[in-house]
Amino acid sequence: MNRLSNEQRARVIACLVEGNSIRGTVRMTGVAKNTVTKLLVDMGIVCSVMQDRTMRDLTCERIQCDEIWSFVGSKQKHIPEGKEGVYGDWWTWVAIDADTKLVPTFHVGGRDIGEAQTFISDLAKRLRHRVQLTTDGRNPYLVAGRGAFKNEIDYAMLHKIYGNPPKEDQRRYSPGVCLGQEKQPKIGRPDYAHISTSYVERQNLTMRMSMRRFTRLTNAFSKKVENLTAAVSLHFAYYNFCRVHSSIGTTSAMAAGVTDRVWTLNDLIGLLEEAEATPIRRGSYAKTRQNRDQIST
């Protein structure tokens, strides 16, 4: 059991959800590094379980999906011997409701068709009725969408056309210049006016700003998959239930009817107190690619 007081826990969690690294949180709160890490993992588990239970029978109408890159231990080309399948590139798949900004599900894994099927299948189980779905132009989304929704969906891809960045921008890791985009209906009759991935791409920026381990060109990357997944789970619990969005004037969970109030950090800590009374198996988090499908909310 973590022996921190609820006040200390709240200070640590506030630092983590506002984009501070674990070592930065240690310096700001005076809490030991191992204790901060343990609290992060414990909170990640209970937040994952809570979101899995509450994100059901959702009345979303327009969903956008994308995936964001990160790495664990080392980048893919520098994986040390014996760490294959654990170290390297990892992707966080994210779905967002364009109207309420709710994130109904996420998945941490690879980027192949199997991971796409796991992610889209989980999304389909959480929705009450037919929705309009927009993704980028990657084919795994199309295959997964057909299988999960059985064509009972209005699905379109947004294919963006990029040019090479100028040489002076390549040194700054700038993306290619977007020269245009093509809307490609794939299933059903999607509304052209709502074929967009703008909101989910903005969510990618929110993740990079709110989780230090997603910041590029730093040494704050995850050292364990368990820690990466815990950070993502805590982020989305705070994002959905605690963070008031200026565009909608409330939290995403309230706007979507998932809850009837704005949660505080103490509400999230209360989940951990309940779990300590009835322990949740730490095996809820996958640590290898073989059992990675258990990571989704």
Task: Provide the pairing of β-strand 132-135 with 154-163.
Answer: parallel
| Inside any domain, residue 240 | yes
pLDDT tops 70 at residue 188: yes
- The enclosing H or E element of 158 equals strand 154-163
Sheet containing strand 154-163, strands side by side: 105-109, 88-97, 62-72, 132-135, 154-163, 177-187
> Domain holding 289: CATH number?
3.30.420.10
- CA dihedral defined by 2, 3, 4, 9, rounded to 10 degrees? 20
Nearest to 158 by CA among 184, 191, 132: 184
Q: What is the mean pLDDT of residues 186-203?
A: 96
| Inside any domain, residue 114 | yes
Which range (76-85, 109-118, 119-128) has the least confidence?
A: 76-85
pLDDT value at residue 256 = 97
pLDDT value at residue 2 = 52
| Inside any domain, residue 103 | yes
pLDDT, one tens digit per residue, over 134-158 is 999 999 999 999 999 998 999 999 9
| Inside any domain, residue 1 | no
| Inside any domain, residue 191 | yes
Would you say 281 and 275 are in contact if contact means Cβ atoms under 8 Å apart? no
| Cα separation values, 36 from 25, 64, 108, 214, Å | 8, 33, 22, 18
pLDDT tops 70 at residue 283: no
**pLDDT tier, 12 (very low <50, low <70, confident <90, very high otherwise):** very high
| Inside any domain, residue 94 | yes
Q: What is the mean pLDDT of residues 115-136?
A: 97
Q: What is the mean pLDDT of residues 55-76?
A: 94
pLDDT tops 80 at residue 163: no
Q: What is the mean pLDDT of residues 281-286?
A: 44
pLDDT, one tens digit per residue, over 195-211 is 999 999 999 999 999 99
End-to-end CA distance of the chain: give it in Å, rounded: 24
The total number of structural domains in the chain stands at 1
Q: What is the mean pLDDT of residues 211-217?
A: 86
Q: What is the pTM of this model?
A: 0.88
pLDDT, one tens digit per residue, over 90-120 is 999 999 999 999 999 999 999 999 999 999 9
Looking up tokens 């052209």 gives 192
pLDDT value at residue 83 = 84
| Inside any domain, residue 31 | yes
User: Residue 50: how many CB atoms within 10 A of its CB?
Assistant: 20
> Across the chain, what does the average pLDDT equal?
89
Q: What is the mean pLDDT of residues 18-28?
A: 94
pLDDT tops 90 at residue 57: yes
For residue 145, what are the domain limits? 6-294
Strand partners, 56: none
Q: What is the mean pLDDT of residues 222-241?
A: 95
Question: What are residue 47's phi and psi, to 5 degrees?
Answer: -70, -35
